[in-house]
Amino acid sequence: MYRDKPMQSPPIEIDTRYPALVTGATGYIAGWLVKQLLAAGVTVHATVRDPDNIEKVGHLIDLGDSSPGTLRLFQADLLQEGSYDDAMSDCQVVFHTASPFTLTHSDAQRDLIDPALEGTRNVLASVNRCPTVTRVVVTSSVAAIYHDNHDCDKAPGGVLTEAQWNTGSTLDNLPYALSKTLAEKAAWALADAQDRWSLATINPALVVGPGLAPGQTSGSFEFLTLLTDGSFRDGAPHLDLGAVDVRDVADAHCRAGYLKTAKGRYINYATTLTLYDIAEALHPLFPSLPLPEYRAHEGPRWRADNRRSIDDLGVNYRDPVPAIVDMVQQMIDNGDIKVPASK
């Protein structure tokens, strides 16, 4: 069912006459998106918080130097009004990926909600001022669709679709999911208030696979650390989740940016895995890692419909398990996961 070679989704026409904006270009997902756009010959206006931080932008500069496309770095911050105006100039497609994704925070309103919500409003206010933009792709999340796995039971047929919205998350209970829900709703309200540009949202489940730069901050890496550092040694909770290779997330963004017919929300994941499934796949390759060793208990299954992303966008999903293996290997090589000498 899965393809073993990358980039086998049917090719699409990418208009390279106009630049495309990628917000949060230092990010994990954004890195792969910038790579795909540059490989297609696009001029990428990449916004970052600190263009002088070579540790964070060096890989983007290298990609620009080695690709048919052109990279231009711009400074921008989600919380600074008008910050994206310069970078957006002449752009046809805007990919808004920037938003904090972390499992740890000290002040949910300040650290998660404000940058996600005010940042989305800020970027889309720039879109409304920039006459060349015709398509906006916002990186949302399945977290904007459901709060916990019990929501699957409430969905028609027990399967989550793009018709559902997360109604359960609060500032105290899964504030990251609340941040994604509020930001995506704000994006739709602004899109619906005009007719010059159209909006597509990509709603990925857990994104996995290696990053393009060392020092990744995405919650995806925090999650893999938690799974491999012994936290679940005494049993993994039945956390049934969707997983998707980061390259298929970038692919979905590209397609949503350039396919004329793309519109609306796209659930973006390849397959459902439990923490134990992931541990089982990792164990033979990394036998001394303190991985979860048994299923603690059964819980509600996570089921979501990814057909719009396959039928309408043409995403041809890879098996995400090899990507998890590569990601763990990369984290070990970088010293982010410590392998005990012996079990």
Q: Which is nearer to ligand NAP, 80 or 288 (CB)?
A: 80
Cα 17 from Cα 12, distance rounded (Å)? 15
Question: 20, 21, 22, 26: which one contacts ligand NAP (CB under 6 A)?
Answer: 26
Cα 32 from Cα 9, distance rounded (Å)? 16
Stretch binding ligand NAP (CB under 6 A), from 19-27, 60-68, 162-170, 327-335: 19-27
Neighbour count for residue 157 (Cβ, 10 Å): 9
CB of 117 vs ligand NAP, minimal distance in Å: 12
Cα 148 from Cα 167, distance rounded (Å)? 10
Any residues with CB less than 8 A from the CB of 177 and at least 6 apart, and which? 141, 143, 144, 147, 166, 169
Binding mask 182-201 for ligand NAP (x = CB under 6 A): --------------------
Catalytic residue among 35, 154, 180, 260: 180
Q: Which is nearer to ligand NAP, 115 or 292 (CB)?
A: 115
Task: State which of positions 85-114 bind ligand NAP (CB under 6 A).
Answer: 97-101
Stretch binding ligand NAP (CB under 6 A), from 161-169, 216-224, 257-265, 282-290: 216-224
Cα 103 from Cα 225, distance rounded (Å)? 11
Total residues in contact with ligand NAP, by rule CB under 6 A = 27
Q: Which is nearer to ligand NAP, 178 or 279 (CB)?
A: 178
Let me know the angle formed at the C-alpha of 56 by 51 and 58, rounded to the nearest 5 degrees: 80
Binding mask 155-184 for ligand NAP (x = CB under 6 A): -------------------------x----
**C-alpha distance from residue 219 to each of 53, 103, 224, 260, 274 (Å):** 21, 6, 9, 32, 17
Cα 98 from Cα 247, distance rounded (Å)? 17
180 is catalytic: yes
Cα 90 from Cα 19, distance rounded (Å)? 7
Neighbour count for residue 7 (Cβ, 10 Å): 12
Residue 79 near ligand NAP by CB under 6 A: yes
Query: What is the C-alpha radius of gyration for the chain, rounded to an integer number of angstroms?
Result: 19
Task: State which of positions 265-304 bind ligand NAP (CB under 6 A).
Answer: none
Contact 291, 243 (CB under 8 A): no
CB of 216 vs ligand NAP, minimal distance in Å: 6
Q: Which is nearer to ligand NAP, 15 or 86 (CB)?
A: 86
Residues catalogued as catalytic: 180
Q: Which residues bind ligand NAP (CB under 6 A)?
A: 24, 26-30, 49, 56, 77-79, 97-101, 115, 139, 141, 180, 204, 206-207, 217-220
